[in-house]
């Protein structure tokens, strides 16, 4: 390779030559560039998750600083960010090949300062109406859309054999933002970090609550990581494609089957992250859940890279199937821990089982994403070869289709962040218990066991066997 080409690939913000599946290219320069982009992408995505799930920590405390919202209203505020997060992921799924991963990462991260500043202002004014908090919650939800563009972008940088690990790290450590936020917020709201910018409210316990700090604390970090992305990340020229070129992926039937599986895994992770603290407070009010709520998203986020790595080694279908069985068993076990008219319930058993649900939802998020990347790359490569495209063009088409599928499926998965807290709120309002909601979740997990086995286990194994016989 000439000196000019070498410098162009390394120093330019736009990579004109990118072939991660070329072993020599990857070892000589690709791996270094990919890792740099990945390790800048991760904190950007982590902060996006912090902002996305901000209301899961803020809503619990709103009535303690002068507001008077009902339990159902507070559950709604924790659920609404998932709506715009899910809707936003649809255009975000296709935006990276149009705008460029570096430029979009900078814009989509920096814009999150707006809902943070607005939320801090609203908290400082107890006369702020509920409708305004609804708008802020919807704006916070835009942060959740960043997952689609971030995962799409990172998928372009890595070879097929390393997709599970790379996407697992980006998604898993990005998901860690939920736990980071829920761990940091109880700390920052207890001290006057910003001087006269925020006011403290004295609590019955004698502590002072600076709730506006929960939103303001992320602003400087968002600015810093946006600058890092601007100066340190790259756009890939070969990944450029119009939205029209990417839309045919929506016609692929597997897109919808895999969307259901991802809804059950990542949707559960983000839904439980949003609603677990409010659910715990309604069922076990004597326990201070704010001291523990960060643990669930923490173990779930850490389990996601493990799910991707295990899938690379054992196969995503096998890992996903076993994981859904575990999720169904754990959901059924929750029934025994909830309080009833004749039983006080068990908070600690409830908490332990839910930690298991967080772990399996995170692990399943990693394994299903690995399935998506592998299946769509194979489908797209086969179609490109049938169409007579050259090997390099086929690989480029496969990467583009896979990235679009990853982003779109992530949009479906994000809806779980709305449905789960909303289901808890409605179940409590109608029956006084979350049991009805948990029964619905159990039925959904059982159906996913069947889909994973029937569509992706049994049938694809048969196709692989036939293909092997033909080749031999």
Higher model confidence: residue 144 or residue 17?
A: 144
For 62-83, letters b (16+ CB in 10 Å) and e give: beebebeeeeebbbbbbbbbbb
Structure tokens at 297: 């998203």
Instruction: Out of 167-176, 223-232, 387-396, pick the least confident.
Output: 387-396
Residues 157 and 37 sit within 8 Å (Cβ to Cβ)? yes
Per-residue pLDDT tens digits for 115-144:
999 999 999 998 999 999 999 999 999 999
The DSSP 8-state label assigned to residue 455 in this structure reads I
Q: Find how far residue 96's CA is from the centre of its chain.
A: 17
- Nearest 5°: the CA angle 320, 170, 166 is 70
Calpha distance 114→111 (Å, rounded): 6
Give the whole-number percent of the chain exceeding pLDDT 90.
36
Domains of the chain, with CATH numbers? 3-471 (1.20.1250.20)
Lookup: tokens for 176: 């860690």
Counting Cα atoms < 13 Å in the Cβ hemisphere of 279 gives 29
100: three-class secondary structure by DSSP = coil
Question: What is the distance between the alpha carbons of residues 240 and 85, in angstroms, rounded to a whole number?
Answer: 24
What is the reported pLDDT for 247?
65
Helix (H) or strand (E) holding 187, with range, is: helix 163-188
CA geometry: angle at 279 spanning 182 and 136, to 5°? 55
- Across 36-50, 265-279, 408-422, least confident range: 408-422
Give the integer Cα–Cα distance in Å for 233 and 136: 30
Alpha carbon 140 to its chain's center: 14
pLDDT value at position 2? 40
User: CA 284 → CA 44, 271, 309, distances in Å?
Assistant: 35, 19, 37
SS3 208: strand
Task: Count the helix, strand and coil residues of the chain and give each as a percent rounded to the nearest 5.
Answer: 80, 0, 20
In the structure, what pLDDT confidence band is assigned to residue 9 with cuts at 50, 70 and 90? very low
Residue 387 to residue 381: CA distance in whole angstroms: 10
Distance CA 39, CA 339 (A): 44
Of 49-53, 235-239, 296-300, the range with the lowest mean pLDDT is 235-239
If one compares 454 and 107, the residue with the highest pLDDT of the two is 107
d(CA 20, CA 284): 51
Question: DSSP string spanning 112-138?
Answer: THHHHHHHHHHHT-TT--HHHHHHHHH
pLDDT at res. 459: 54
Q: What is the mean pLDDT of residues 54-75?
A: 88
pLDDT at 399: 67
Ramachandran angles phi, psi of 236, nearest 5°: -105, 115
E-only strand ranges, 213-270: 235-236
How many angstroms separate the CA atoms of 396 and 419, rounded? 36
Q: Rounded mean pLDDT of the chain?
A: 84
Whole-model pTM: value is 0.74
Neighbours of 437 (CB within 10 A): 23
Element (H, E) at 297: helix 295-314
The mean-pLDDT minimum among 54-58, 285-289, 404-408 falls in 404-408
**Regarding predicted confidence, which is higher, 48 or 246?**
48
**Maximum Cα interatomic distance, the chain, rounded to a whole number of Å:** 78
- Model confidence pLDDT, tens digit, residues 319-355: 999 999 999 999 999 999 998 877 888 999 999 999 9
Q: What is the pLDDT of residues 365-400, one digit of tens each?
A: 989 878 877 777 777 777 777 777 666 666 666 667
CA distance 169 to 94: 21
Please write the tens of the pLDDT for every residue from 400-437.
777 677 767 877 888 888 889 889 988 988 888 899 99
Structure tokens at 465: 């066997």
Ramachandran sector of residue 288 (left: φ over 0; alpha: ψ -120 to 50; beta: rest):
beta
**Gap between the terminal Cα atoms of the chain:** 38
Mean pLDDT within 171-184: 86
Distance CA(276)–CA(261), nearest Å, equals 21
- Band (pLDDT 50/70/90 cuts) for residue 241 is low
Query: What is the C-alpha to C-alpha distance for residues 287 and 349, in angstroms, rounded to an integer?
Result: 13
Helix (H) or strand (E) holding 319: helix 316-334
Q: What is the DSSP letter of 342?
A: S
Bridge partners for 15 per DSSP? 236
Inter-axis angle of helices 295-314 and 253-283, to 10 degrees?
A: 150
Mean pLDDT of 74-90: 88
Out of 219-228, 229-238, 261-270, 371-380, pick the least confident.
Answer: 371-380
């Amino acid at each position: 390779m000439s000196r000019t080409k070498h410098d162009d690939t390394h120093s330019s913000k736009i990579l004109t030559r990118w072939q991660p599946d070329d072993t020599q290219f990857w070892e000589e320069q690709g791996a270094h560039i990919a890792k740099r982009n990945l390790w800048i992408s991760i904190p950007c995505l982590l902060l996006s998750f912090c902002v996305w799930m901000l209301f899961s920590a803020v809503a619990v405390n709103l009535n303690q600083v002068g507001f008077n919202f009902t339990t159902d209203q507070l559950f709604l505020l924790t659920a609404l960010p998932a709506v715009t997060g899910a809707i936003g992921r649809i255009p975000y799924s296709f935006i990276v090949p149009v705008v460029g991963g570096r430029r979009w990462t900078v814009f989509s991260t920096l814009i999150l300062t707006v809902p943070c500043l607005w939320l801090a202002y609203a908290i400082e004014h107890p006369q702020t109406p509920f409708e305004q908090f609804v708008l802020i919650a919807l704006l916070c939800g835009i942060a959740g859309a960043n997952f689609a563009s971030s995962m799409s972008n990172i998928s372009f940088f890595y070879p097929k054999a390393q997709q599970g690990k790379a996407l697992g790290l980006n998604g898993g450590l990005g998901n860690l933002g939920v736990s980071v936020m829920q761990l940091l917020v109880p700390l920052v709201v207890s001290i006057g970090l910003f001087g006269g910018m925020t006011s403290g409210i004295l609590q019955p316990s004698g502590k002072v609550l600076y709730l506006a700090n929960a939103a303001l604390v992320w602003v400087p970090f968002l600015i810093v990581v946006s600058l890092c992305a601007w100066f340190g990340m790259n756009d890939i020229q070969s990944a450029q494609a119009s939205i029209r070129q990417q839309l045919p992926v929506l016609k692929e039937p597997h897109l919808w089957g895999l969307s259901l599986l991802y809804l059950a895994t990542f949707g559960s992770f983000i839904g439980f992250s949003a609603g677990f603290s409010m659910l715990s407070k309604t069922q076990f009010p004597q326990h201070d859940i704010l001291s523990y709520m960060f643990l669930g998203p923490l173990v779930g986020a850490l389990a996601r890279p493990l799910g991707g790595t295990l899938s690379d080694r054992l196969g995503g279908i096998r890992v996903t199937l076993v994981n859904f069985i575990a999720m169904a068993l754990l959901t059924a076990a929750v029934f025994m821990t909830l309080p009833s008219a004749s039983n006080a319930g068990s908070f600690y058993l409830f908490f332990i089982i839910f930690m298991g649900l967080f772990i399996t939802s995170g692990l399943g998020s990693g394994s299903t994403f690995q399935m998506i990347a592998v299946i769509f790359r194979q489908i797209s490569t086969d179609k490109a070869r049938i169409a007579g495209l050259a090997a390099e063009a086929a690989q480029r088409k496969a990467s583009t289709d896979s990235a679009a599928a990853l982003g779109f499926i992530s949009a479906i998965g994000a809806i779980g962040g709305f449905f789960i807290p909303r289901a808890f709120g409605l179940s409590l309002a109608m029956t006084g218990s979350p049991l009805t909601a948990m029964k619905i979740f159990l039925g959904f997990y059982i159906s996913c066991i069947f889909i994973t086995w029937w569509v992706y286990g049994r049938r694809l194994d048969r196709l692989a066997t036939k293909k092997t016989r033909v080749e031999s």
